[in-house]
Amino acid sequence: MPELPEVETIRRDLAPTLVGRRFVSVELLWPGIVRQPTAEELERRLPGQTIAEVARRGKYLLFRLESGETLLAHLKMSGSLVLRDTAEAASPYLRAVLTLDDGRRLGFYDPRKFGRLWLVADENEVVGKLGPEPLEPEFTPQELYTRLLRHGTPIKALLCDQNFLAGIGNIYADEALFYAGIHPLRLAREMQPWEADRLHCAIRISLERALANRGTTFSRYRDAYGEPGRHWEALLVPRRPGAPCTRCGTSIQRIRLRGRGTYFCPDCQG
């Protein structure tokens, strides 16, 4: 699933091109992609609207419109938004096409059909319950520690909870916990203040490094130009079971935690 670095990479790609542009048409090849309002209503309301800002909240892309409405997109497991100068090549995975007033087309591709679009007057209807943004200055080590104390949940599961912290998923939770030297099954409320400080730093490092490499592509993720992210080569623990730890040489282990594959070094994170 695209996480914060992947969605933020797409946002940065799209913002310079889309701000000030106007939607002229919407083609829904799979109407089920629209969560709110109805597909017919979105096709009617979106054309003619001008994009004032391209923003991100957690794993959501937000196209804030001059009318005050917001078009939101969530890529879910396998979605991608690709901007093209010409009509898309035939693809069975193309679910929606948003055409702009300069002729360019924003295609929403999604093999697994989990991705969704919303057009709402109040974006908080969709993203209002998300936790803090981990890269914002307001997210401090003290705030992280205070929030950790409220939960008797394994720390890996908690980091993947979007209501706890927005934008982190499986890949970067594993990576941050490795950087911080914290076992994924450790209960959140057992953390000491110094561990919260270290985890706070590790979260930011893992996300910023991924951003510098334009995200991680294992299979489906593509940026707004249709290119894969490069960060998979730099990952230290995710999807490396049996590989030697880069710090101590111990084999990376894989366990299942609440349905998610979880990777860690049993020595460095013991």
- SS3 string, the chain, reads CCCHHHHHHHHHHHHHHHCCCEEEEEEECCHHHEEECCHHHHHHHCCCCEEEEEEEECCEEEEEECCCCEEEEECCCCCEEEEECCCCCCCCCEEEEEEECCCCEEEEECCCCCCEEEEECCCHHHHCCCCCCCCCCCCCHHHHHHHHCCCCCEHHHHHCCCCCCCCCCHHHHHHHHHHHCCCCCCEHHHCCHHHHHHHHHHHHHHHHHHHHCCCECCCCCCCCCCCCCEHHHHCCCCCCCCCECCCCCCECEEEEECCEEEEECCCCCC
Residues annotated as catalytic are: 2-3, 59, 260
